[in-house]
Structure 1
Amino acid sequence: MPHAHPAPGAAHTRQRPGPCPCGPGASAVVLLLLVLLVALLPAAGAAAADGPRLSLDRAEAGKGSTVVVRGEGWRSRALLTLLVCGQNMVGGTNDCVNAEGRTVTTERDGVFRRELVVVEPPTPCPCVVHVATVTGEAQAADVPLVVAGHPVAPLPESSGARIGVLDARLEGSGGLLTWFGAPPARRLVLTVGNLGSGAAKDPVFRVGTARGVLAPSWEERRWRGTIPAGQRARVAFDVELAAGAHGPYEVSLEYGDKVLVTEPWDVARPWGVTLFWILLFLVVPAGLFRLGMVVVDRLRPRPAVAAPQSGALPWFTPEAMPRSPD
């Protein structure tokens, strides 16, 4: 059988691989995955931006009944407090029943379920169930709740400034002059916050001082400055009592018709004045007695002294002569 020889140039011809049959399909799959990823990213961002959410098993409940509070979107293993509050909690926790609050710890996925006994808040409705974190990053949310039988009142006007005291203390101490009866003085230093929606410009406070159970005497003080809504500021006023004042006193601060803070002030007795009077009653009589004795000593008669004999020197008088040993 004759041997078949390759055609000239066939040995140097390289066979090119054909196109991959999976190329167009893989490209379509990758493109589809990219489209799905782009579509899911905004949804995930929106879910993260929603933050913690609350829901109740019923929107209205009477005093003493129980509602089930469910939450989601909270931090994992976070400790939360649950409170029933009135007036939509515009006044902070002062509108809540803090003594009847409950706690709960969220699951790994940030959800929780907790039963809460409905109690009447200290302020009128509209009421809410307020949930907030105890430690770590602050998170809070509210859900409306109608407390059957509880009075309802319109929310307070929040268009103006509403001042609250966050911290207060009396600074200063008595000196040497105060120990001797000078007017005692202190400095009332406060950290105030504007809880309203309007700025407080040059607010006028009233500073009062009272001794014991007596009514305070008020004095208007204007603080020069502006406290924007939701901001805080450091406010200080000088307080001075009458000369010689001592005993238990109270310093109060009032804004509008509400007393914001009352600080006790125990004023020490000016013992220097007492010491002065003691020394006065001891030293003055002793000085007068000494002066009188000097006057009496000068005015009393002196005994006569005998004159020495004429012609004899004073050191040769018989009284002045030295005596013999025998």
Structure 2
Amino acid sequence: MGASATPATAAPTATATPTAADKPTVKLSTSQAGKGGSVTVEGEGWRPDALLMMLVCGRAAPGKGVIGGTNSCANSEGRAVTTDKDGTFDKKLPVAEPPEPCPCVVHVSTVTGENQQVDAVLKVAGHPVKPLPRQADGGRLSVLTDTRLEGSSGVLTWFGAPPQRTLQFTVGNVGSAPVKDPVFQVGTSHGVFAPEWDEHQWRGTIAPGKKAQIKLPVELSAGAHGDYLVSLKFGGKVLAEQPWGVGRPWGVTLFWILLGVVVPAAVFRIGMAVVDRLRPNRRRTSHGGRHRTGRRLTELAARWPQLRLVQGAVDADRRDHRKPGGSRTSSRTAPTPTSAPPTKPTGGPGTGGSGTTGALPWFTPDTDPGAPAGRLSAPSDDSPTKGTT
């Protein structure tokens, strides 16, 4: 009972380190630069292997965003960068004058996946500066009714024109201070891509406890089609989202089909016209053929007597073969064998019965290939062709 209790020593507690990733940050190598120069942008705490876009934007400030969205940025001089496995990056960005006056920032945002964006103040030397519209700190807006998209697509949209709608909603001021000229952000996203935000300023004042109906324009890029999501954001908080199904521009498809049919047909017609130009004249060719035909007929008429003689000899030979008991040898043998060449027949094909007309004109009696070998003999010594002295 009297023993004194020794105080228990407290065990050391382990401090838990946060595992959540830090918020993305951006750091510039310089806070002021002129047109034509460059600034090195360093980032930490971003998602690993994330694709980022860096832009120099006007009419913006950290925490307030870029009024007008990317329309207030020098988009032509922007640069894309991909973070490493640690979520860091380091890249140079050329400095250009944005289309809107300063305050200016270097706006870094994700291109795909969850939307992350950070603005770093940059003073562009020589660029005009205008104050931003003031926003009351005590005012808070809330959407009271469901948002809806009004409008319809026209004929030009069917041929690839940018689809346009009007985002209509009603907001109420649930804060303690009036809200004057509030600036809303309208974003459109397609698939896995991050929303592209455009800022629109509504002119007017919403008193505490009052409401107002607001209409903001929404426009997509030319030829856009598919399922889109329209988001409404105010004060860095998303107030509402509205799906938007955009039909395919079938007019563009029809145009390409017609182009694929008309162009080959036009090329074929041009080719046929060139062929008609290059080939010879038909009239000239037909006249030349007629003249050649006339010359051939004249030559045949000039040779007609010779043809009649040859035809008469052939007919006579055929008649000898048709006679009963006739022989080919007797018809081809001359009545008086002589070594002199046969006389040219003077009769026509109708003068039959003469021995001279039965022999063909190109054979002599003693060299007839149809005569027997015994009948072919040399002329005798008593031949009258052998004269006596």
- Which is strand-richer, 1 or 2? 1
Q: What's the TM-score once normalised by structure 1's chain length?
A: 0.44
TM-score, reference length from structure 2: 0.37
